[in-house]
Amino acid sequence: MAAVQAADVERMGFQLALRRRGISDQAVLRAMDEVPREYFVSPEFTDSAYADQALPIACGQTISQPYVVGYMTEQLEVAPTHRVLEIGTGSGYQTLGFGNVTILAGDGFLGAPERAPFDRIIVTAAAEEIPQALVEQLGAGGKLVLPLGPRNGTQYIVKLTKAADGTLTREDLIAVRFVPLLPGQAREL
């Protein structure tokens, strides 16, 4: 019983930390509360699953820190009817409990043109430049959220909104540090 209580306290602290850092979308907070993050990290890191830090996963990648997952998801402004493309899913954690998910292995720079257009696109690895293929796959009124910047320099979460005429509005949001978005398909190391 003490273990259950300790886990409950840890989850409450996790939710409180997200709220204190500004995550306010109730659907995002609910999803992050309901999806067991410990299932998405390597067994040796389950004790740290709810710490606000990135953790290593397969292929030399990381699962992003919970605050960044919540922040990016909130900025995406996803509705139940949206078609969403996630690039760089890594562990799969950011799908946040959806059952209607199709997993594709491929080059994230290319997106999924055969399934476009998308209402929302989220990229969870840093690109040095905005991938044009993803912009082309974004539908009118769509939003693209991604970390952008050089591998060894300042990166920002950027939100692009595509108008009906195809023009993009860019918002630079918060400074972050992500693993790089690499061409090709990930391979187990």
Residue 98 banded pLDDT, cuts 50, 70, 90? low
Most confident of the following: 74-83, 88-97, 104-113, 140-149: 140-149
Residue 184: the pLDDT is 66
Q: In this predicted model, what pLDDT tens digit does every residue of 100-116 receive, in sequence order?
A: 666 667 777 788 899 99
Going by C-alpha positions, the residue among 128, 127, 121 that lies closest to residue 162 is: 121
Q: Sheet of 155-162: strands edge to edge? A: 84-87, 118-123, 138-148, 155-162, 168-176
Q: What percent of the chain has pLDDT over 90?
A: 46
64 included as an active-site residue: yes
**Residues 8-19: what's their mean pLDDT?**
84
**Residues 136-160: what's their mean pLDDT?**
96
CB 65 within 8 A of CB 37: no
φ and ψ of 119, to 5 deg: -80, -30
Q: In this predicted model, what pLDDT tens digit does every residue of 24-47 receive, in sequence order?
A: 999 999 988 888 888 888 889 988
Out of 24, 42, 48, 64, which one is annotated catalytic? 64
How far is Cα 76 from Cα 143, in angstroms, rounded to an integer?
6
Q: What percent of the chain has pLDDT over 70?
A: 84
**Residues 11-19: what's their mean pLDDT?**
88
CB 56 within 8 A of CB 42: yes
Amino acid, res. 67: Y
Residue 103: the pLDDT is 64
Widest CA span of the chain, in angstroms?
A: 59
What is the average pLDDT value for the chain, to the nearest integer?
86
